[in-house]
Amino acid sequence: MANLRMQVLLVYLGATALACRHSTHEKADRTAATNGSVSVDASPPATQPSVVTPSSPRSPATLSDSSSLCNEQAPQDFLVNAHFNGRPLANAGALREWKDAVARSIRYRTEQYGYYSGFGSYAWNKKPLHSQMRTVKFFGLPVRLHERVIPALRCVETALRSDCTQFPYQPRALSGRRENNTYLDGDVSNHVYGIAIDIDPLQNPCCNCIEPWKSSPRCQGKKTDLERMDMPACWISVFERFGFYWLGHDALKDTMHFEFLGDPEQVAQGDAGVSR
């Protein structure tokens, strides 16, 4: 009986962590979208990434100021696996395995992007996060991100303008870097590291998050994820070609959210990348 009670408790705690993890995250996005403007706050892949040449010169100068080649790469599996993703933590072993994945992810992100107070170790990277944030424009809208992922966003916009012309889409609001962590389960949001971007929170909902999305007409009834959002599937495919992970794959169905989980050392050839 004691073992049964422990399993029930672990399942409850797992479900609670999923709900709490994104509560303030969604509230912040809702406020930003309502205002019409947003205050923006492991090992590499085993195979060498392929190389693509941006084929369209039409990107804004702020995101397309280099003719260097872009590398295609997938999000790194160990970073994706650190997501809670609604996994059933039905026993202590499963909970420990997930916590180990989170710890590995935090160390990697600290080493690559900077130390966030209270998580990981300052010894891993003494360079403060805030000193590495830059404001750039994506489809004409400003967004604040870590300087190491801006070259990846350049590659994305160039490819979107070249490959998705049959599916025109113009973002209305963006959210990038945030100073405060909105996860309550021991992990750190990728918005804190400046490697995540939300696109149009009202038009691309998070149907398994908190209100107002749960009650949104877009989230009601039997629909595919693409039927619930305005952003075209072509955009998802392009982002994923350049190391971004779409949180629409997650149990939360956070369709607005992309985060760079690729290797920042493999973003671009030549001078398009930002060296550490």
Find how far residue 226's CA is from the centre of its chain: 18
Listed residue (106, 113, 191) closest to 148, CA to CA: 113
Residues 91/110, Cβ–Cβ less than 8 Å: no
pLDDT in tens, 176-192: 999 999 887 788 999 99
> Range with the lowest mean pLDDT among 37-51, 167-181, 184-198, 250-264?
37-51
Confidence (pTM): 0.74
The encoded tokens of residue 259 equal 């985060």
pLDDT in tens, 84-124: 665 566 678 878 888 899 999 999 999 999 999 989 899 99
Find how far residue 38's CA is from the centre of its chain: 16
| Residue 56 in this model has a pLDDT that exceeds 50 | no
The encoded tokens of residue 20 equal 């709490």
pLDDT of 145:
98
Residues 90/4, Cβ–Cβ less than 8 Å: no
Q: Give the domain ranges of the chain.
A: 2-266
